[in-house]
Amino acid sequence: MTESERTITVDYLARVEGEGSLRVRLRGETVEDVELRIFEPPRFFEAFLRGRSYLEAPDITARICGICPVAYQMSSAHALERALGVTVGGALRDLRRILYCGEWVESHALHIYLLHAPDFLGYSDAVRLAKDHPDAVRRGLALKKAGNHLMQVLGGREIHPINVRVGGFYRAPSRAELDALRPELEQALEIAEETVRFTAGFDFPEIEEDYEFVALRHPDEYPMNEGEVVSSHGVRLPMDRFEEVFEEVQAPYSNALQSVHKGEGSYLVGPLARYALNSDRLPPRARTAARAAGLAPVERNPYRSIVVRSVEVVLALEEALRLIDRYRPPDAPCVPLPATFPATGAAWITEAPRGMLYHRYRLRADGLIEEAKIVAPTSQNQKRIEDDLRHLVGKSLRWDDAALTTACERAVRNHDPCISCATHFLTLEVERIPEGTGESPEANRAAPTLVVGLGQEDRGDDRAGIEVVRVLRRRFRGTEVEFLEGPADVALLLDRWSGRERTIVVDAVRSGRPAGTIQVLEVLGDRLPPTYGGSSTHGLGLAEAVALGRALDRMPRHLTIWGIEVGTIRIGSPPSGPVLRAVEDVTDRLARELGGPRRAARET
Amino acid sequence: MHEEALLRDLVRKVEEVARAHRVERVERVRLWVGALSHLTEGTLRARWSMATIGSVAEGSGLEVESSLDVHDPRAQGVVLQSLTPRSPWKGSGHPPSVREKPPVSPSS
């Protein structure tokens, strides 16, 4: 340390403030942007599995979630058994369903009583709820304990059970061990029915969302370990064809993957979806409880998921008791697995408490895993939760940020116990932009520079402009530069660039040059920018916007177009290599031109 | 788990302190890692350059002291001890020292 150097002593104990933040951009009365960001970095479980024995998969993947480890064990074991051509039936099949029932009870009880119910009763958390409503919280804990006991007896311990293996179990319980659980389960079943009455009495916001529900459906039981994939938009396919219709995408602002129904958009998995697609498969007591609670056969109000979840607790306990009744210990705790097999692979889906969990494996002939793919329910619901939030914010524009934060946290808690736990600390960032009057160019004088990225999200190279703007937006946060991204829309472009000192538009172009070629064009005099219809809405693109802007005298003083030559535009594919390199190049050059902070490291 | 959220909190605090002291760029940040913390020096180092992008601490060096004392009252935590501004201090040679009380609220 040189003597001219100073050090500022801080002594601050760092805290985990929250795992998620929500960024909302409002322009006047319009919600322009909603981004749910999950900070938790990737954990690379799919990579860990490569090169490991297939026999390890259930125990490794169980570590992905402390609330639903059984789901990971069930999806992995079934996928691997299918790959080996092994079927697990009879008492072993029943034991697996009982174990899953235990996890459903445990997870749902936690979500209902400790995370969700306080919202409806006006408490910030379950501890404060317990002071005024101790009986309610006690019911929750009693349910959770019953679920725990099932997990303990069948799985060897309550969390991260150790008794599940490919082919069955390491040890099957005796008849007496399961019988010993009966009194507690019967009592829990009554508590579960009381829980349905309790939650049905809450006040629910009158909201209906137009969900595409996706769940498994089985010929004669409420789905857990088996079935085919069905959706409320008419999808019906065997589970191993899941990836043909649904895919995971990476949003640049979030570390959690999002899933979409290809060509359709977001969809919802979990209790609301399962119930909507399987309410005719509920066993008698669950069905009676649902009817008494006033549930329709399809519920589209996300807040009512707490009632549906309660009905599923009744179902899980009812099922566990039914299966325990008919239990006869199997001859062996595990079916024999082939000692040798050719290279193989398979996929399977089971219903985790919060929704479908997809596993796919490819095995080498020596039994080592070559490739693993896991699609968790949390990522499947991520995009749909964003859509819920977008609608909520659109209806609550006049609320202050504190009220909006609370409402958004509640909306997240409707769907997921993990994000919902994290989002007790949701950081809400609201950018409120006064609406342009549409007449006065003066409205935009506050920010002299606007950078526009034109393109469409999931059309390969066409998203080049969007990529550039997303990186720059982060780098220039809190500065005088404003950003806009999305498909070209004449009205929006005129509104946003009119009267500015400078506007820079980054767009994909097609002029016959090699992909990735960058062209910079100052729009002067009567020249029009090159037309490229790829990213416009209703056929009115950038050229039309310039022409119209001139006619109406609604132009920025300086307009520069940065064109990135596109290669292929394939729906659902990522941008090509040359275009990605051009995106980086343009980003760096624009950053220098805008005078922003220099960076050494590459952004991922 | 949770390292990203913790790092964000650290960077937020570095920004806050830098602002209060009119520091434009931070040269070095010194952390103390408790013996029972779920994070290690390696984890923190691996993520520091990413976590600081766009902040006053972008490109800064990280000094980490890993405690072995499991009885330390803050053994489970990570403490931001100090930061060193990038531009040389053009003062009397007596650098100011600012001490802030650790927050009262418990870590989650």
Do A450 and A336 share a domain, yes or no? no
Q: How many residues does chain B have?
A: 108
Pull the structure tokens for residue A346: 């398979």
**Residue A492 scores a pLDDT above 60:** yes
Which chain B residue has the Cα nearest residue A43? B1
pLDDT confidence bin for A332, thresholds 50/70/90: very high
Which positions in chain A have a beta carbon within 8 angstroms of at least one beta carbon in chain B?
Answer: 1-19, 39-41, 255, 425, 474-475, 477, 597, 599-601, 603-604
Do A317 and A455 share a domain, yes or no? no
CATH, residue A320: 1.10.645.10
Measure the CA–CA gap between A175 and A153, rounded to whole angstroms.
Answer: 11
Do A118 and A237 share a domain, yes or no? yes
Task: Name chain B contacts of A6, Cβ cutoff 8 Å.
Answer: 84-85, 89, 91, 95-96
Q: Which residues are CB-contacts of B101 (< 8 A; sequence separation ≥ 6)?
A: none
**DSSP states along A498-552:** TT-SEEEEEEEE-SSSPTT-EEEEE--TT--PPP-GGGBBTTB-HHHHHHHHHHT
The pLDDT tens digits for A571-599 are 667 778 888 899 999 999 998 888 854 44
The pLDDT tens digits for A466-484 are 889 988 888 887 778 888 8
**Range picked from A393-397, A433-437, A452-456, B52-56 for highest mean pLDDT:** B52-56
Q: What is the 3-state secondary structure (H, E, C) of A20-62?
A: EEEEEEEECCEEEEEEEEECCCCCCHHHHHCCCEHHHHHHHHH
Q: Do B107 and A15 touch (CB under 8 A)?
A: yes
The pLDDT tens digits for B50-65 are 889 999 999 999 999 9
Q: Where are the domains of chain B?
A: 3-85
Q: Which residues are CB-contacts of A411 (< 8 A; sequence separation ≥ 6)?
A: A302, A385, A388, A389, A392
Instruction: Indicate the fold that domain B3-85 takes in CATH.
Output: hypothetical protein PF0899 fold (3.30.2320)
Measure the CA–CA gap between A563 and A19, rounded to whole angstroms.
Answer: 37
In a domain, A361, yes or no: yes
Choose the closest CB to A14 out of B78, B83, B93.
B78
Measure the CA–CA gap between A227 and A75, rounded to whole angstroms.
Answer: 12
Among the listed residues A151, A131, A130, the one whose alpha carbon sits nearest the alpha carbon of residue A140: A130
Do A55 and A186 share a domain, yes or no? yes
Could you identify the residue written with the tokens 């001890």?
Answer: B81
Distance from CA of B81 to the nearest CA of A (A): 4
Choose the closest CB to A6 out of B1, B2, B89.
B89
Query: A240 by DSSP, 3-state: which?
Result: helix
Amino acid letter, residue A537: T
Measure the CA–CA gap between A442 and A430, rounded to whole angstroms.
Answer: 23
Least confident of A6-10, A335-339, A544-548: A544-548
Do A343 and A453 share a domain, yes or no? no
Task: Name chain B contacts of A253, Cβ cutoff 8 Å.
Answer: none
Give phi and psi for A10, each to the nearest 5: -120, -55
Count of domains for chain A: 2
Q: Which residues are CB-contacts of A578 (< 8 A; sequence separation ≥ 6)?
A: A514, A515, A516, A567
Q: Which residues are CB-contacts of A296 (< 8 A; sequence separation ≥ 6)?
A: none
End residue of a domain, out of A351, A380, A409: A380
Q: Which residues are CB-contacts of A297 (< 8 A; sequence separation ≥ 6)?
A: A276, A279, A280
Do A365 and A450 share a domain, yes or no? no
Least confident of A97-101, A106-110, A369-373, A557-561: A557-561
CB atoms within 10 A of CB A431: 13
Mean pLDDT along residues A149-154: 94
Pull the structure tokens for residue A529: 């920018």
The pLDDT tens digits for B72-99 are 888 888 999 999 998 654 443 444 444 4
The pLDDT tens digits for A58-108 are 999 998 888 899 999 999 999 999 999 999 999 999 999 999 999 999 999
Do A227 and A344 share a domain, yes or no? yes
Q: Do B80 and A477 touch (CB under 8 A)?
A: no
CATH, residue A536: 3.40.50.1450
Do A161 and A279 share a domain, yes or no? yes
What range defines the domain where residue A175 resides? 45-380
End residue of a domain, out of A380, A399, A422: A380
End residue of a domain, out of A380, A397, A416: A380
Task: Name chain B contacts of A598, Cβ cutoff 8 Å.
Answer: none
